[in-house]
Amino acid sequence: MIKTIIVDDEYNAREFLEKLLTRYFPDKFLILEKCESVDEAITAIEKYNPELVFLDVQMPNKNGFQLFKELNKIKFEVIFTTAYSEFAIDAIKCSALDYLLKPINYIDLLETIKKYDQKQNKASQEEKLRLLLENIDTGSSAYNRIALPTENGFELLKTNSILYCEADSNYCKVICLDGKNIVLSKTLKYVEELLPASIFQRIHKSYLVNLNYVTRFNKTNELLVELSNGETLPVSVRKKEEFINAIIQKK
């Protein structure tokens, strides 16, 4: 059984999540303790050495993210639970960590548990949590680094090292400044939602570009954008006005 701790300042939320786990996964989780604060959680983690922690994000005094700043080593997987914080969800997604949106339902819980079971690279968890804290501490949505899912795990990149992204069926190719190409096991739309909209602009159904590296826009005959590496990419007629407005605002 998976040694598990639940952390949530709301009594009803703790009890409800335990009920879901014991009802639908009766032989899978061993609930070691239910904590109502970060301080209680730290004591329980040090005592029981859990494999999995369900962690509420919004709590009084210390929020869930503070937990990782007060622990020396992270030897467990974490699934965040949160009610509505869009900023927190964006930061969690960019760090390639899992979360459940409250009120938690069985379908979402089942999907999250499936992902937990499929995880192979447990060693990357600590790096993902470091990335999460880095993203949270920026205080904005324009994160310095993000974790992008590949077929073999995750690629952690500085956002401004990405030149452009190209759709490839249900996959996405990320072209970096250093010439490296990374194939992601996600769609271009998924990647677009992770990257900061203030920097990355969709110019075509197949292309998302970093505005920092746009050097020229040719609107005669074909609509083409030239990037700092000399490559040219098409701009669709539908995206033309939106792209021009983005460039103007960027300047």
> What is the residue-wise DSSP string for 198-225?
TTEEEEETTEEEEGGGEEEEE-SSS-EE
Domain boundaries, given as residue ranges, for the chain: 2-138, 145-250
Cα 82 to Cα 102: distance, rounded to the nearest angstrom: 6
Say which range, 82-91, 98-107, 120-129, 165-174, has the weakest mean pLDDT: 120-129
- 146: helix, coil or strand? strand
The tokens describing 165, both together, are 């992204």
Say which range, 57-61, 78-82, 154-158, 240-244, has the weakest mean pLDDT: 154-158
Residues 28-44: tens digit of each pLDDT: 999 999 999 999 999 99
| CA-closest candidate to residue 162, choices 149, 173, 175 | 175
If pLDDT is split at 50, 70 and 90, which confidence band does 21 have? very high
pLDDT computed for residue 163 by the predictor: 96
> What is the residue-wise DSSP string for 41-105?
HHHHHHHH--SEEEEES--SSS-TTHHHHH-S---SEEEEEESS-HHHHHHHHHTT-EEEESSP-
pLDDT computed for residue 137 by the predictor: 61
**Which sign does the torsion angle of CA 119, 123, 126, 129 carry?**
negative
pLDDT computed for residue 123 by the predictor: 46
Residues 132-178: tens digit of each pLDDT: 877 666 555 556 788 888 877 788 888 889 999 999 888 999 999 99
2-138: CATH homologous superfamily? Response regulator (3.40.50.2300)
Say which range, 117-121, 184-188, 217-221, has the weakest mean pLDDT: 117-121
Burial of 192 (0-12, 13-18, 19+ CB in 10 A): middle
pLDDT computed for residue 61 by the predictor: 87
- Angle of helix 106-118 versus helix 11-24 axis, rounded to 10: 70
- The CATH number of the domain covering residues in 145-250: 2.40.50.1020
In whole numbers, what is the pLDDT of the chain averaged over residues? Answer: 87
